[in-house]
């Protein structure tokens, strides 16, 4: 089956028709899967017409950048804790090396 692409205007028309005439009839008329229809509906409800543009919205990009920055910070904190733990272990081994020799 060949992949079809719908324009933003056509998607909006299909969504309006689905609301007015029923989803099942509209899906059969255009040969669209329900998952596709409801995916379009979700995008339209959350982001409006901008949801039909390919790619991400500026707000989504900003959120991704924020999460990446937070992830980097958390990784650095974890690395510092790991290093700190190893240094403590080594210093304890050196400090109590005499106890291992006597036993």
* Spatial CA neighbour of 40 closest among 27, 52, 23: 52
Q: Which residue has the higher pLDDT, 7 or 103?
A: 7
Q: Are residues 50 and 6 in the same domain?
A: yes
CA angle 84, 85, 87 (to 5 degrees): 65
Q: What is the pLDDT of residue 33?
A: 94
Q: Which domain does 98 fall in, by range?
A: 56-103
68 has pLDDT over 60: yes
Using one digit for the tens of pLDDT, what is the confidence trace for 6-17? 888 899 999 999
Q: What is the pLDDT of residue 90?
A: 87
Give me the number of domains the chain comprises.
2
* Residue that has been written with the tokens 């099942």 in this structure: 24
Q: How many percent of the chain have pLDDT more than 90?
A: 50
Q: Are residues 47 and 71 in the same domain?
A: no
Q: How many percent of the chain have pLDDT more than 70?
A: 89
Using one digit for the tens of pLDDT, what is the confidence trace for 44-56? 887 778 777 766 7
Q: Are residues 51 and 80 in the same domain?
A: no
User: What's the rounded Cα separation, in Å, for the pair 54 and 101?
Assistant: 68
Helix (H, G, I), strand (E, B) or coil at 5: coil
Q: What is the pLDDT of residue 81?
A: 97
Q: Are residues 64 and 49 in the same domain?
A: no
Q: Are 11 and 43 in contact (CB under 8 A)?
A: no
Q: Are 26 and 14 in contact (CB under 8 A)?
A: yes
Q: What is the pTM for the complete model shown?
A: 0.52
Q: Which residue has the higher pLDDT, 16 or 3?
A: 16
Q: Are residues 49 and 2 in the same domain?
A: yes
Q: Are residues 44 and 89 in the same domain?
A: no
Tokens of 32: 């669209």
Q: Are residues 23 and 9 in the same domain?
A: yes
């Amino acid at each position: 089956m060949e992949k079809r692409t719908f324009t933003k205007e056509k998607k909006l028309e299909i969504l309006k028709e689905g609301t007015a005439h029923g989803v099942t009839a509209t899906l059969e008329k255009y040969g669209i899967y329900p998952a596709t229809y409801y995916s379009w509906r979700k995008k339209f409800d959350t982001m409006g017409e901008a949801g039909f543009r390919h790619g991400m919205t500026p707000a989504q990009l900003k959120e991704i950048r924020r999460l990446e920055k937070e992830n980097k910070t958390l990784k650095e904190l974890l690395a510092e804790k790991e290093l700190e733990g190893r240094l403590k272990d080594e210093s304890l081994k050196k400090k109590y090396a005499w106890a291992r020799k006597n036993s």
